[in-house]
């Protein structure tokens, strides 16, 4: 995608400087700032503190984190240490484990002296693969939007939750890729953007992306979806996911489940866009997915731009109010109309998913 007219990805190697470039997403939408990661600790901190976030980008950053980790010491002990540190950063997005396993699978069998080059190469390949996967999700998802456009007047209204846009991946996004493809093809598409408390990824990131790309959209409060669906103002919901089980239970940003319930009650199709590395073939039941619990202060304190142009935080509850901050929830497969993958749209069903990705099933 483009920022200020310049094409960019969300992560890029600066190998000559021994670094990796990222966009600091905690500063968006008010400031576009980039940061250079130089060490394993930099990469781990960028993931844990959510300078980078979104399942595919977490995986890509972890892959480069391995390359940074072994610059001076490429021993097996160092590889294991790097795996452990990066894996501990965030518990829910399975792309993290997937990317680390990919890196280990390539690096471990190699002689120590060959590992650094191979690490940079595999991390770059993971990023390129993610771009192609997300592009294909867009191609398949656009067909769903086109089908609706052909049978109605006016825009196709898509509701999305959180940010599963290009900022959450290396490029294109998952849930937004069909929207970008449709918009670029000249289809009339409009997006309802859930603000997505507490970290407001919808308000801060999805709105910023859509505005930059010229896609018509409205930001709505997290509780608006039910009314919009009841009034026929949503044609389909498309969300991303941090981990989907082998049987199609979908873990995504907190609040997704409530949207799926409202969609079911109003006969609105509920689609989940996901790259195959987001499928956890080791798990069947969504209840077994670890749900990240983040700091209560993310609920209590809200960041924003002051009228003086400074980025600041305000407390929105009494000082002593305790808060709980579960970052994700699980939508059971029975509420999911379909999964939009790089290989096409598939039912959220164990056999259907396994038929589409037999190589992944065999590998687990």
Ligand X SMILES: CSC[C@@H](O)[C@@H](O)C(=O)COP(=O)(O)O
- Alpha-carbon dihedral of residues 124, 129, 130, 136, nearest 10 degrees? 160
Pattern 261-300, binding to ligand X, x per CB under 6 A? ----------------------------------------
In this complex, which beta carbon is closest to ligand X, that of residue 166 or of residue 357? 166
- What letter would DSSP give residue 291? P
- Least CB distance to ligand X at residue 252 (A): 5
151 in helix, strand or coil? coil
Is residue 140 part of the contact set for ligand X (CB under 6 A)? no
- What gap in Å lies between CA 197 and CA 258, rounded to an integer? 14
Structure-token pair, residue 263:
């969609």
Q: How far is CA 234 from CA 72, 156, 259, 346, in A?
A: 53, 8, 11, 22
Is residue 327 part of the contact set for ligand X (CB under 6 A)? yes
At how many degrees (to 10) do helices 55-69 and 95-107 cross? 30
In this complex, which beta carbon is closest to ligand X, that of residue 53 or of residue 183? 53
In the annotated binding site for substrate, the residues are 53-55, 90, 201, 252-253
Pattern 307-326, binding to ligand X, x per CB under 6 A? --------------------
Is residue 141 part of the contact set for ligand X (CB under 6 A)? no
Is residue 26 part of the contact set for ligand X (CB under 6 A)? no
Q: Which of 100, 124, 142, 168 binds ligand X (CB under 6 A)?
A: 168
Please give the residue whose beta carbon sits closest to ligand X in the complex.
240
Is residue 253 part of the contact set for ligand X (CB under 6 A)? yes
Kind plus residue range of the DSSP H or E element containing 272: strand 270-273
Q: How far is CA 343 from CA 60, 139, 251, in A?
A: 21, 10, 20
Q: Which of 174, 206, 247, 331 binds ligand X (CB under 6 A)?
A: 174
- What gap in Å lies between CA 94 and CA 188, rounded to an integer? 34
In the residue annotation, 72 being an active-site residue is answered as no
What positions carry a catalytic annotation?
242
Residues found near ligand X in the complex (CB under 6 A): 53-56, 93, 162, 164, 168-169, 173-174, 201, 240-242, 252-253, 327
């Amino acid at each position: 995608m483009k920022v200020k007219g310049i094409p960019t990805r969300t992560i890029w190697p600066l190998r000559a400087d021994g670094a990796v470039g990222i966009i600091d997403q905690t500063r968006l939408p008010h400031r576009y700032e980039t940061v250079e990661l130089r060490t394993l600790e930099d990469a781990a901190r960028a993931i844990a503190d959510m300078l980078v976030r979104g399942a595919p980008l977490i995986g890509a950053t972890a892959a480069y984190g391995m390359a940074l980790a072994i610059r001076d010491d490429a021993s097996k002990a160092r590889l294991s240490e790097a795996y452990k540190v990066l894996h501990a950063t965030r518990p829910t997005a399975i792309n993290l484990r997937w990317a680390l396993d990919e890196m280990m699978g390539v690096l471990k069998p190699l002689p120590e002296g060959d590992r650094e080059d191979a690490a940079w190469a595999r991390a770059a390949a993971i990023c390129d693969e993610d771009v192609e996967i997300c592009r294909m999700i867009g191609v398949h998802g656009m067909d769903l939007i086109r089908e609706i456009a052909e049978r109605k007047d006016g825009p196709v209204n898509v509701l999305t939750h959180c940010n599963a846009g290009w900022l959450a991946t290396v490029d294109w996004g998952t849930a937004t890729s069909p929207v970008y493809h449709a918009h670029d093809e000249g289809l009339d598409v409009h997006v309802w953007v859930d603000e997505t408390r507490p970290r407001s990824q919808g308000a801060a990131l999805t709105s910023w992306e859509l505005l930059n790309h010229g896609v018509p959209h409205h930001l709505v409060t997290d509780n608006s979806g039910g009314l919009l669906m009841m009034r026929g103002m949503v044609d389909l919901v498309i969300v991303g996911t941090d981990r989907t089980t082998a049987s199609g239970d979908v873990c995504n940003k907190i609040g997704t489940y409530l949207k799926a319930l409202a969609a079911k009650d109003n006969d609105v199709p509920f689609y989940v866009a996901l790259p195959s590395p987001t499928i956890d073939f080791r798990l069947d039941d969504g209840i077994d997915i670890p749900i990240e619990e983040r700091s209560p202060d993310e609920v209590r304190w809200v960041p924003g731009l002051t009228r003086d142009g400074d980025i600041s935080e305000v407390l929105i509850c009494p000082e002593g109010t305790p808060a709980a901050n579960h970052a994700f929830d699980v939508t059971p497969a029975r509420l999911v109309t379909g999964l939009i993958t790089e290989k096409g749209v598939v039912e959220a069903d164990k056999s259907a998913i396994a038929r589409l990705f037999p190589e992944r099933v065999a590998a687990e």
